[in-house]
Structure 1
Amino acid sequence: MKSLRLFLLPAVGLLLAACDTTPRERQEMVKQEARKLDTVADRAAAKLRVAGRRAARFDSASRARSRQPLDRAAEATFASQLLGTYTEVEQLTPQTIEPAFVQFMQQVRANRREWTQRDWDYATAISRRLNERFRAIRLDIKGRDELHIRALQTEFTALETGRDVKDLGQAVKQP
């Protein structure tokens, strides 16, 4: 809207001034207004270039972090914190998988604001393990429990994506 006003205001000004000026004067006014628009466009392009470079650096750092293997001991500690008594994911049954997902998401909700991107990597690894186990025993899970698990999986994905978007936004804004 602001850029539209920047474009329309000079045009309105030119129309009003057209009655009191010569064609040569109007031509000079148009040139001046075009220079102003070029300056605004150049500044916007420079800001976009900077934001693009920062986004690329964030993406590069994120990829490098993702390629580094997770520490097994730290993952086990994290799993213990997130899953409580359900840490033995491979041992979950059709009756215990839904409570394990509930426990996991309760802990994710409670701790997510303090997590770093690396913490999210650990949480994602645990989520993958839960999802693999879910797929392995899915045919024996009650429909109601399956629907609840699917909702919790979706919530986790939304929270994780929201954090990625927030971090990307902060990276683009930082000098």
Structure 2
Amino acid sequence: MKSFPLILATSLLSISAAVAQQKPATTTTTTTRPSASSTATAVERDLRIFADWVSDKVSRTADDIARETPKVAEEFDRQSRRIDKAVDSLTVEGKREYSIQKKRYSAWSARQDSLDRAARQPETAQQSQDRLLGEKVVLGRARATELPDLYARFIETTRTQRRNWTATDWSNASAVLSRLNARYDQVREQLPLEERVRIRSWQGEFRTLEKARDVKGVMAE
């Protein structure tokens, strides 16, 4: 026959086991926070969007972008602020790319401001000529040997700046070319055939670029 203490201990153990089975399991609630990797992915996506946006804007002409300038500046501020908040999550390459894109936009924006100021203060004929030729020249007294270099400067300026030219800029450039051509007709016999061929080529290139600009304007309308 079992002793009373043993029976009591056995009963207590049974009661404890029953209570443990009935006690509901404790649940732990955790708060999910964005991981560093998800933040990095988001800011990298924002950087790609920003880079595409900058490329689109800097490739457009002054005429196309002039009426949108205030909105463009606001959009730049919005996108850059968004990236700035998580810029530390970018890789070294990402930070470098972000810096490059901001510099591209800054240079483009400064150029737009310069063009706007120029539009408010139209160039004189002499100023246009000086800008297109890269120096002050009295074309009526230019030597024959100077003309190939003057034509070369003129066409190089046209190639590099024409995408931002207005109708007035094209008109001014055409007038400068006419003055160059007038002097060329006076002294061309003093030039070797090779130089005359080069000058004829540059004359034709300008007219081709000018016509291409006119065609683009008609299609835009």
SS in 2 for 1:85: coil
Distance 1:148 1:86, change over 3 A: farther
Matches within 5 A, 1:120-139: 120-139=170-189
The 5 A counterparts of 1:141-156 are 141-156=191-206
Q: What displacement does 1:77 show?
A: 1.0
Note the aligned Cα RMSD (angstroms).
Answer: 1.7
| Cα separation, 2, equivalents of 1:73 and 1:81 | 10
Aligned ranges 1:66-85 → 2 under 5 Å = 74-85=124-135
What is the number of equivalent residue pairs in this alignment? 101
Task: Confirm whether residue 110 of structure 1 aligns to residue 160 of structure 2.
Answer: yes
Q: Deviations over 1:50-109 (max 9, x none)?
A: xxxxxxxxxxxxxxxxxxxxx995221111111123532112111100000001011111
Call closer, same or farther: CA 1:94–1:86 in 2, change over 3 Å. farther
Q: 1:27-61: CA deviations, max 9, x gaps?
A: xxxxxxxxxxxxxxxxxxxxxxxxxxxxxxxxxxx
Higher RCO (CA < 8 A, seq sep 6+)? 1
C-alpha displacement of 1:144: 0.8
Considering fraction of residues, name the structure with more helix: 1
Matches within 5 A, 1:36-51: none
Aligned-partner SS, 1:87: coil
Cα distance in 1, alignment partners of residues 219 and 164 from structure 2: 17
**Corresponding position of 2:86:** none
Report the Cα distance in structure 1 between the residues aligned to 2:164 and 2:182, rounded to whole angstroms: 27
- Confirm or deny: 8 A CA contact 1:79 1:126 kept in the other structure: yes
Structure 1 stretches of 5 or more lacking a match?
1-70
Q: Residues 161 and 139 (structure 1 numbering): CA distance in 2 closer, same or farther, change over 3 Å?
A: same
Task: Identify the residue that residue 101 of structure 1 maps to in structure 2.
Answer: 151
Q: Deviations over 1:6-43 (max 9, x none)?
A: xxxxxxxxxxxxxxxxxxxxxxxxxxxxxxxxxxxxxx
Please name the residue that 2:31 is paired with: none
- Tell me, yes or no, if the aligned pair for 1:86 and 1:100 is still in contact at 8 Å: no
Deviating 4+ runs (over 6 angstroms):
none
The one-letter amino acid paired with 2:198 is: H
Taking a change above 3 Å as real, the CA distance of residues 72 and 118 of structure 1, as seen in their structure-2 partners, is closer
**Rg larger in structure:** 2
Structure 1 residues 165 and 76: alpha-carbon distance in aligned structure 2, compared to 1, 3 A threshold: same
Cα distance in 2, alignment partners of residues 122 and 81 from structure 1: 11
Stretches of structure 2 that go unaligned for 5 or more consecutive residues are 1-120
Instruction: Tell me the CA shift for residue 118 of structure 1.
Output: 1.1
TM-score (norm 1): 0.55
AA at the equivalent of 1:168: V
Q: The residue matched to 2:160 in structure 1 has which SS?
A: helix
**1:87 aligned to 2:137?**
yes
Q: Distance in 2 between matches of 1:165 and 1:137?
A: 34
Query: Residue 124 of structure 2 aligns to a residue in which SS?
Result: helix
Residue identity over aligned pairs, in percent, reads 29
User: Which amino acid in the other structure matches residue 164 of structure 2?
Assistant: E
